[in-house]
Amino acid sequence: MSRAAVIVNPTKFEDLEKFRDEVCAMTAERGWAEPMWLETTPEDPGQGQAAAAVAAGIDLVIASGGDGTVTACAAGLAGTGTPLAIIPAGTGNLLARNLGLSLDLGEALAVALTGTDQQLDLGIANGKPFLAMAGLGLDAKMLDSTSEPAKERFGWAAYAMSVLAHLRDQPMRVRLQADHERPLRRLASGVIVGNVGWLQGGLPLLPDARPDDGRLDVVVLTAQGWASWLAVAVHVLLRRRDGTGRVARRTFRELRIDVDREHHWELDGELMGRTRQLMITVHPDKLLLRVPAPSPD
């Protein structure tokens, strides 16, 4: 009999016991053993729990929380062959949205128990793993200035409101070295690296990004003030792939980003602190992710 481990972020649920009862009932209905139940902590947001589940011989790890919980669980599972399933319970749920995974509990759990496994690339930024996106500059400052009460009240729209406070910020000077290409030097408001391409609200920031192609994509955005940010937004919304003075793109396996001064940076929606350098690499096929089974012809 197959058995899953459920790794849950308890801060994302108003009634954790109800959630647990629902999960246990649905796993039993589908012939699975009672799941192992593990809760994240501020000290360990999921990596240690995922490693413990693998050591216990679990067949599937189900992560239920925000993007940070999912990424931490992925770090504990990378390279083990034990698949990861997602029950989204955060504000952003960026990976789930990009992969078309349901945000509904019943549908997400059905996929976890009956779906198929897809190999996924894993990004590493300054030694830390990510699945969706890493960023330096604007997006990290957005996270830093978005409060938990605002996220609870407005959802992902709270991030959009936070961005407005930074549209006039002074750009930073960056140098990007992608693989063995000629270095790119720019003034930049934000540098975003993606294993997936879509932001919340359906914005196709990195339209060519694929989570299983063995490469990562990076976009450099340069703007200051409403007019220039409007030009950037038009470029993104129209999915233009050509470079401009305000938008530059690269794909890579290894990337070094040097900045003129320390700036906030983030991984999968989690603020990581400040840095003057990011070293980013891709590790192909490091993770198995449970996705919906193909529809029969």
CA gap 90, 132 in Å, rounded: 14
Q: Is 127 left (phi over 0), alpha (psi -120 to 50) or beta?
A: left
- Residues of each domain in the chain carrying CATH 3.40.50.10330: 4-114
**pLDDT digits 0-9 by tens, 114-124:** 999 999 999 99
Mean pLDDT, rounded, of the chain: 90
Token couple for 39: 């809760």
Please give the CATH architecture assigned to the domain spanning 128-285. Answer: Sandwich (2.60)
Does residue 296 register a pLDDT over 70? no
The set of residues, in sequence order, having a beta carbon less than 8 Å from that of 222 and lying 6+ positions away, is: 171, 186, 187, 188, 189, 228, 232, 245, 246, 247, 248
Average pLDDT (65-84) is 95
Q: Which of 14, 29, 34, 270 is catalytic?
A: 270
**pLDDT digits 0-9 by tens, 123-173:** 999 999 999 999 999 888 888 877 677 666 766 666 667 776 777 788 999
- Residues of each domain in the chain carrying CATH 2.60.200.40: 128-285
Q: How sure is the predictor about 281, in pLDDT bands with cuts at 50, 70 and 90?
A: very high
- Check if 270 is active-site: yes
Q: How sure is the predictor about 183, in pLDDT bands with cuts at 50, 70 and 90?
A: very high
What's the whole-model pTM score?
0.89
**pLDDT digits 0-9 by tens, 102-111:** 999 999 999 9
CA gap 297, 284 in Å, rounded: 30
- The CATH homologous superfamily for domain 4-114 is Probable inorganic polyphosphate/atp-NAD kinase; domain 1 (3.40.50.10330)
Top pLDDT among 250 and 229 is at 250
User: pLDDT at position 175, please?
Assistant: 97
Q: How sure is the predictor about 213, in pLDDT bands with cuts at 50, 70 and 90?
A: very high
Average pLDDT (54-80) is 95
